[in-house]
Structure 1
Amino acid sequence: MSSSFRAPPVSLSDDHIDLFVLSQAIWRQKLCIVAVAAGFGLVAAVYAYVATPEYHVSSVLRPAAINELDALNRSDIYKLPPGAALKKVGASLESYDTRLGFFRENRKLFEEFERPGRTLEQSFEEFNADSIRLTLPDPKKADSLSAYIKLSMNYPKNVDGVAILNGLVDYAIKIERQQIANDMEVIVDNRLNEINGKLDAARASYENSKEAKIASLMEADTVRRAQLRDELKALRAQLKTRRANRVAQLDEAIGIARSLGIKKPATPSSLGEADRGGSSSVMRTEINNQQIPLYFMGVDALLAERTALVRRKSDDFTEARIAEIVKELQLLEVNRKIEVLNAREKEDLFLRDVEPLRAEEARLRNLNLDISRIKLVTIDRVALEPLEPVKPRKTLLIVLGVLLGFIVGLGGVVLRQLFLLKKEGGENFSHSVAPAMMEGDVTNALPRSPSDRG
């Protein structure tokens, strides 16, 4: 029995594989592996050169400078900070309606996307689903120094992607400018209508105030006129009664004077002297603090006064107040304040608290803001014609094809070798291992690889 011993190269029962034997098998099949790799590489090269090239363009928008929107913000009508303007343009770029409108207005740019039997909307849906992407900065990351919007597009050959992307950006900005112009027009119209409403309310208030003032003046004149007429009537009645009383007093005094024989004006002392028959050449001075009775006026004077009173037709001249009342009544015939109020032509000049409204109305009507010159966003990077397509990457595809072919060829060789080892190892084990072990020849008892047997 031999005492030499070596490790078995392949033992299927112990799950060990002889790498040297396997590498020898791979080396023998190297041409096959190279052929498979070359075949895969050739297929990849054919695909790389036959597939339709796909290009990539992008455009970056950033907020406009503050001074670009200063005229719009200083109008006190429409407030639009730069960040909000960027969001408006971004929302318009992402809007389905905006993209569809641009698609409809530029049919020649999208001829490659149109297919027979499809509607315009279906052709646009194919373009809109995969072609254009809108990218916003991640709010969780602080590496971006400012807000931006990135618009990117992948497009096949024979499509003017640069014109499409730049045209879409310009179209979205144009749409937003038009929307701002429409909003401005509506806001200005609404404010003008509001101001006109306030002015109409002020005019109505003025008219009501004017009519109320005229009515108040007319009412005051009517009341004053009635009071003066009542006073005049009462005064005339009073004067008439006073005249009647005077006539009655004169009648009584005439009777007394006749009974006393007083024909001419006299005094009590002169009447006493006449009874005594004194000298007529005597001059008398009489001091008396009592009122002398009326009949001492004498019959002649009393009759003369009575006759005048009876013949009197009006007593107005005897009372100064009557002349004043007549004067006031004449002044009340025409109220100059009412005449002036009714004669006003430019009544808007007399409206109260409307100067700010008129100033605002004049400002709004003379507002000359050119929306077309307002810069909503800054195009930080316009889409430029790409130098080479992004798909397919020919070199990478060929390398990957060769690598895949090498892996497939190598894997095929390894699997074939393992299959052969398993098949031959199972057949030789029962014929060689058991008898050799009984004779003590361990080396000959182990199964050999096909290379060793050869």
Structure 2
Amino acid sequence: MTQPGNHPSLSQLPPPAWADDEIDLFELVVGLWRRKWVVLAVIAVALALAAAYLLLTTPVYESSARLRPPLASQLAAINETGQLTLSPEEAFGRVIFEARAISTQRQVFDAFKERFLNSNARSDALAEQYFLLNFLPASSTKVDGSGKNDVLAETTATITFKHADNQFAADISNALATAARSRARAGVLDDLRVVMETRIRVLESRIVLGADELKRNDQDTVVQLQEADELRRRDLQDQIAALTRKTRQLRLDKITELQEALAIAQSLGIEDPVTMHMMSNRDGGNESVAFRAELSDGTRDPLYLRGSRMLEAELAALEQRTSDAHMEPRLRDLQEQLDLLEKNRRIELLQGRENYEALAENTGALRAEITQLRNFLAASYADVKMARVDKEAVARKTPIRPKKALTVAIALIAGTMLGILIALVMAAVQNRRQPPPAADTAQ
């Protein structure tokens, strides 16, 4: 067993291993300086890789075209039609929508397809793949709106395209801006044309409906007039028939009266017309004659005083009469009214109408509006602008990537840090490989 008195004291124990791991900045700097060529070599390699990256990477250029809303005067030709109201903000919104539309970008792509693709890669499949994977990601439209407190600012749209050819990028940006404005203008004019053509059809249908309504009204009026004429005709015929019967009856009554007077005249032997005074003188004061004379005072003379010859002639004339119309003046008036009913000029005029459209109500105003709309349709609207070009895209000389200064700076920083790290690791490894210094022997 080990004796307790044989244990070494604490002062005689060896120092711990970590006692030599303290960092000496002077030795660190000296170690880095000794290995400066390693750091410089790493920096040189990093710079060489950066240079290779810059040389091998295809530069990408970016070009932008900026658009502004149109002036109100540039939309006046559309707004003056009264069929479509378009504010500058709405017009500019259509341009922005068309700039972002895939159909617009495809139109521009198809126009520049030969410059995008070589002759060996112009198949539809490859073109579609290039359009989806390269063209669409390279184009963008950014809208900058005005602030709430900035009343003088306005909305702008920036159409950007990126490509390895700086001039090509500018051409595509300008083409996209032009296509967006053209398509927006064509869309508005198509809407205006459809609205005006629809309005013309509505107005023409109104004219036709007005003519049809007038025709139906005329037909109804003709029926009403014919019914009124028929009613009036029957009423007149009834009046004429009643008056005819009355005059005939009066003639028959007159014949009866004349026959009685003829019988009296024949019985009295009166052949020629006489008066009551002559009769009284001839009868020598006969009481009966005197009595008749007294009865005849103040009244018309009896018919038998006309004498039998006159009465016979008058009676023969009455019996031979075939019409008694001349005896009743009202019959002539009624017959005249009945004859007038045979031809109703208003009915003839209504039935003879052919051009009902010219007679329909408001036809003139409707046709004037149609003529105005047709003139609007025939207009060219060349002054209509959906947006103003604030800045055209130009070919830039500096690519957006790769950025040479940034790439070199990153390579320099990364190479320096990596070189220092390698130098430090090499110094640490060398220190580990050196034997530790010999420990002092105990006294």
In which range does the TM-score fall when normalised by the shorter chain? 0.7 to 0.9
1:123 is aligned to 2:130: yes
Q: Secondary structure at 1:392's aligned position in 2?
A: coil
Q: CA distance change for structure 1 residues 181 and 52 in 2, over 3 Å: closer, same or farther? A: same
The alpha-carbon deviation at position 148 of structure 1 amounts to 0.8
Q: Give the superposition deviation at 1:348.
A: 3.0
* Aligned equivalent of 1:404: 414
Which 5+ residue runs of structure 1 have no aligned equivalent?
1-9, 279-284, 440-454
Residue 147 of structure 1 is matched in structure 2 by 155
Q: Offset at 1:11?
A: 8.7
Q: Does 1:194 align with 2:198?
A: no
Which secondary structure state, in structure 1, belongs to the residue aligned with residue 255 of structure 2?
helix
CA distance in 2 between counterparts of 1:320 and 1:138 reads 98
**1:60-139 paired onto structure 2 within 5 Å:** 60-111=66-117, 118-137=125-144
Q: Which residue of 2 aligns with 1:231?
A: 239
Q: Deviations over 1:203-239 (max 9, x none)?
A: 1011112222222223322222222222222211111
Cα distance, 1:264 vs. partner? 4.5
Is 1:330 the equivalent of 2:339? Answer: yes
Aligned residue number for residue 65 of structure 2: 59
Q: Contact conserved, 1:228 with 1:329, CA < 8 A, in 2?
A: yes
Output one character per residue of 1:67-90: Cα deviation in whole Å (capped at 9) or x when no partner.
Answer: 111111111122221111111111
Contact 2:50 2:411 in 1 (8 A): yes
1:377 aligns with: 387
In structure 2, distance between residues paired with 1:15 and 1:233: 153
Structure 2 unaligned regions, length at least 5: 1-15, 287-292
For residue 320 of structure 1, what is the amino acid of its counterpart?
A: P
Alpha-carbon deviation of 1:424?
Answer: 7.0
Select between 88-97 and 217-226 the one with higher mean Cα deviation.
217-226
The correspondence of residues 15-414 of structure 1 with structure 2, limited to 5 A, is: 16-111=22-117, 118-137=125-144, 145-157=153-165, 160-266=168-274, 271-277=279-285, 288-344=297-353, 346-367=355-376, 368-414=378-424
Q: Secondary structure at the match of 2:141?
A: strand
SS at match of 1:366: helix
One-letter amino acid matched to 1:289? G
State the TM-score, normalized to the length of structure 1.
0.82
Say which SS state the counterpart of residue 133 (structure 1) adopts: strand
Tell me which amino acid in the other structure corresponds to 1:302.
Answer: L
More moved, 107-116 vs 376-385:
107-116
Distance in 1 between residues matched to 2:429 and 2:328, nearest whole Å: 156
**Partners in 2 of 1:252 and 1:141 — Cα distance?**
123
User: CA offsets, 1:283-319, max 9 Å, x none?
Assistant: xx98933455444444344333222211212111111
3-state SS of paired residue (1:276): coil
**Inter-partner Cα distance in structure 2 for 1:14 and 1:428:** 9
SS at match of 1:371: coil
Q: Is the 8 Å Cα contact of residues 62 and 377 (structure 1) preserved in structure 2?
A: yes
In the aligned structure 1, how far is the partner of 2:149 from the partner of 2:433? 66
Residues 407-448 of structure 1: CA deviation (Å, up to 9, x unaligned): 111122234445555x479x859x74xx78x87xxxxxxxxx
Q: What is the root-mean-square deviation of aligned Cα atoms in Å? A: 3.1
- Note closer, same or farther for the CA distance 1:157–1:348 as it changes in structure 2 (3 Å cut): closer
> In the aligned structure 1, how far is the partner of 2:230 from the partner of 2:56?
109
Deviations 1:183-216 (A, max 9, x none): 2322222111111111110110111122222222
Query: Once structures 1 and 2 are overlaid, which stretch shifts more, 168-177 or 48-57?
Result: 168-177
Q: CA deviation at 1:34?
A: 1.4
Quickly say closer, same or farther: Cα 1:53–1:114, change in 2 above 3 A.
Answer: farther
Could you tell me how far 1:62 is from its partner in structure 2? 0.7
The answer on whether the counterparts of 1:137 and 1:149 sit within 8 Å (CA) in structure 2 is yes
Alpha carbons of structure 1 residues 175 and 55: separation in structure 2 relative to 1, 3 Å = same
**What is the distance in 1 between the residues matched to 2:275 and 2:92?**
121
Alignment partner of 2:132: what SS? helix
Alignment-mate amino acid for residue 336 of structure 2 = K
Distance 2:404 2:119 in 1: 25
Alpha-carbon distance between aligned partners in 2 of 1:114 and 1:158, rounded to the nearest angstrom: 24
Distance 1:21 1:248 in 2: 176
- Distance in 1 between residues matched to 2:319 and 2:181, nearest whole Å: 107
**Partners of 1:67 and 1:419 in 2: CA distance:** 81
| Runs of 4+ with deviation above 6 angstroms | none
| Length, aligned pairs only | 418
Q: Confirm or deny: 8 A CA contact 2:62 2:166 kept in the other structure.
A: no
TM-score by length of structure 2 reads 0.84
Listed one character per residue, the Cα deviations across residues 81-116 of structure 1 (whole Å, up to 9, x for unaligned) are 111111111111111111112212321232279958
Shift of 1:169: 1.6
2:175 partner amino acid: G
